[in-house]
A and B are shown apart, each in its own frame.
Chain A
């Protein structure tokens, strides 16, 4: 199971959060330096494309800065930032065509934990990835975070702004649709 703690975002003094809310650029930079890595990592897990993840991290922090008036310093910054990052990544996923989305993954450019089981043919892996990319973005996001990245359902629910039950339902629907698509292609999982 992936290290859940590694996704935990750091903490910064409340004064920095107060100053950020008032529009202080130095405070914003402090927050950026503290949180950019976990935000980038979270986005990368969702979009699985390093170049896009970098651009979307920039977009996320721009949105964070723009929404600073709505941030409540008495609440932690990290979950708020992650929710915004999730929305940015979901917007990107919705805008992608399946064949475009898979290029980085197929080229093997992602810093992944394992190269894949040689027992499963490369063709099946590619077909599975392609079938997965055809699923609705909201189902893909839930499935990739909960199943592939093995993030706790509670964290996935908080990031997506839905309930734990809804996460489970989305994962169930994603797996069912994926199985149907694969069966149509003659692959019986």
Chain B
């Protein structure tokens, strides 16, 4: 028996092979359904809070404009 065979044998003794046909102790389907539900709920929440980037850019531009030229705010509001 060479070095590799001995170390393999030692490894098999330390970590015995798992028996074939091992089954989960509980029904996992409800847990899978819960996980899918959580995912769907999260997606809905994310979608409801989602604002396109160009809306944020426009808002940011307006804020910068308002800070840079505060005197223009009444004029801007007048033309709205």
Contact = CB atoms under 8 A, between A and B. Distances in A.
Interface of A: 2-3, 6-7, 29, 32-33, 36-37, 40-41, 44-45, 48, 50, 53-54, 57-59, 61-62, 65-66, 105, 110-117, 120, 124-126, 128-129, 132, 143-144, 147-150, 175, 178-179, 182, 189
Given A37-B23, A62-B35, 14 more contacts: A40-B28, A41-B23, A44-B18, A53-B24, A65-B36, A111-B19, A112-B17, A113-B19, A116-B14, A125-B13, A128-B11, A132-B15, A175-B4, A182-B10
Contacts of A128: 10-11, 13-14
A115 B12 CA distance: 10
Contacts of A148: 11-12, 15-17
A175 B11 CA distance: 9
Main secondary structure of the interface of B (DSSP, over half): helix
Given A32-B29, A58-B35, A189-B3, A125 B14 contact: yes
Interface string B1-38: 00110111011111111111111111011011001100
A40 B23 contact: yes
User: Looking at chain B, what size class is its interface with the partner chain?
Assistant: 20 to 34
Given A36-B28, A62-B39, A189-B3, A111 B13 contact: no
Contacts of B19: 111-113
A147 B11 contact: yes
Nearest to A175: B7
